[in-house]
Structure 1
């Protein structure tokens, strides 16, 4: 219990470190609720990062945000941050429909961009954004979609236990409790590219793609419920969904999420089922073969810092090579956790991190490394983000709601 309390205290009230030379100065576009957890807190523990400025549509909100979080400057507009030559990086946690426009503006201004997920509203915008000519120039800005959970040690350990070629079925679930989102919130606004697939559902989609290490060939089905709100084209807003995809190896992936989850937050989870494979066992006579079927579940794959657990269930059989008769059958179970890369072990054991580092802090580490020209152990590249939006478009089209509209106006 003591280690848990210490870890969570460090995560939500991180210690500040002295800043060294070559600091990267961030500006935040929008005083969003996610910004303190996604950037402000992690920046405190990074010796090369300073959050320098914030801007918001409401100047009073921006000023209150800056005062609360110790941010030195409040800018009058998003554009003022983008134009400021002292700002190196821009964090964009705006409403989904604004991601495209402001990411393009920031990249064209030479800023490095950490872009909240989903990166944009649809695949058309993603292809334009991640193929901007400025990104292929020498000393190009760094642009990354902030899929923070994929940087956590728990996800690295989980993926090391999965063999994509042998995966036959995956289910990825996420949720938001009903009380967490306001009835008039941006999640329920079609013009702002709202909907649960565009919210927590994007994690579920990304989990499937990561586990299969492939893009789905087809969205087999996508069942949705729509909002009962009477504003913002609510009949086009998915409040919960269940989508099924077919992947190139023939495996099936299922993604689920909801904006109307139960009162108590249920941890996200992803369960992977492998096909039966033959495994070597030198102790067996030549007349026998050993077979294994594996199921791996990561509970808490989005909020791993709070709590997570990896459950491994292996079923073994020893069968006769002559008639296939089962000689012996048994199961083995194991549960693992990894709050640091040392916990993850193997190839990850030398990677930096402390038990209180959130996935956001690990993400920031790699983002800075990429900007500084250092090796990055984990990354989300532009083609990955384009494929992510193609998958989401597939699901929206299959659901009958249609993909989220192209709303970006800056091309």
Structure 2
């Protein structure tokens, strides 16, 4: 318990090393509630990141944000940030409906872009954004969709226990307590690209594709609930979606904005098909099989708490008639707050147990900008597949795709 308290406290009150002279200078477009956790906090402990400027539709709000987070410059408009030669990169935590426009404008201005997830509102926008010709030029700007949880060591240790080709079923779920999302929240604003699948389910969908190491072929079902008041009736406040993947496996995601006040960690449970295990100690008339189940508790906020449970169910049976001779289960739990804890090929990667997934993500984003090797990355093709998956579910649900920006 003491180690947990120290870890979480240090996450929110991190050490502040001296900034390097060649640090990446960030501008922030907007003062969204996600910005402090996603960038301003992890930037404090990164010696190669400086928060240079912020802009918002309301300058007063931007000034208050800058004062609170120690940002020296406030700009009148988002474009002023892009026109500033002292800005190297921008973070875009704007409403989803504005992501494509300001990401495109930022890239055209030669700025690196850390783009809040979901990257855009639909697959058509993703195809435009991630296939911009400017991204293929020498010394092109870096563009990253911020699926921060995929950079945490726990996710990568979790993956080492999974054989994608043998996965037959995955169940994922996450929730937000009902008090945190009222009807006026942008997460339930259709014109701003809202909806539970967009705001929360994207984590599940991204994880499903990572587990299967493939994009789904079909959305088999998508059940949603909406506030049927004529205003919010196109925005799901909860959903369950089921997908079929190329190996025949089924992946499910279920999320809600109407969760209980008692926090329940996000969960991903992976079931593998039964496979034969070579065991030379057995007589020729018998065979040994294994069915593995791997569960990751806390795939969204792993720094607070997570656990990876690996349950291996063994059977020794007669080859002639399949009669079971012996059954047993071997279970073990794991954790990895650092890559050293994850071990194996990851053991030498940097990180501290108090690093949030946002801090691990920022580390790789800066590495990419600096031309250094990145161990983990989310390429544009992945982000396009992500939005195709979201589109599949929204079309299947009957709610329809989120609106496409008119900006070109």
Residue 252 of structure 1 corresponds to which residue in structure 2? Answer: 250
Q: Which runs of 5+ in 2 are unaligned?
A: none
> How far did residue 343 of structure 1 move?
1.0
TM-score between both structures, scaled by the size of structure 1? 0.97
The equivalent residue for 1:282 is: 280
Aligned to 1:323, the other structure's residue is in SS state coil
How many Å separate the matches in 1 of 2:107 and 2:356?
A: 27
- State the partner residue of 1:4: 4
Q: After superposition, what is the alpha-carbon deviation per residue over 1:313-336, rounded to whole angstroms, capped at 9, x for unaligned? A: 110011223332222110111111
Q: Residues of 1 paired with 2:348 and 2:284: CA distance?
A: 41
Partner secondary structure for residue 376 of structure 2: coil
- How many Å apart are 1:229 and its aligned residue? 5.1
Say which of 387, 392, 397 aligns to 1:399: 397
- Displacement of 1:285: 2.9
Give runs of aligned pairs for residues 285-324 of structure 1, distance below 5 A. 285-324=283-322
Equivalence for 1:173: 173
Matched residue, 1:204:
204
2:341 to 336, 340, 343: 343
**Cα shift readout 1:207-263 (whole Å, capped 9, x = no counterpart):** 1111111111110110000124553xx111111100111111111111111111111
Write the distance in 2 (CA, Å) between the matches of 1:77 and 1:20: 28
Match of 1:37 in 2: 37
Kept in 2, the 8 Å contact 1:63–1:74? The answer is: yes
RMSD: 1.0
The 5 Å alignment of 1:234-253 reads 234-253=232-251
Tell me how far apart the structure 2 counterparts of residues 246 and 140 of structure 1 sit (CA, whole Å). Answer: 36
Structure 1 unaligned regions, length at least 5: none
Cα distance, 1:299 vs structure 2: 0.6
TM-score of the aligned structures, taking structure 2 as reference length: 0.98
SS in 1 for 2:138: coil
| Aligned counterpart, 1:28 | 28
Structure 2 CA distance for aligned equivalents of residues 282 and 53 of structure 1: 65
Deviations 1:269-319 (Å, cap 9, x if unpaired)?
Answer: 010000001112233233322110001110110011111111111100112
| 1:333 equivalent in alignment to 2:331 | yes
5-14 or 125-134, which moves further after superposition?
5-14
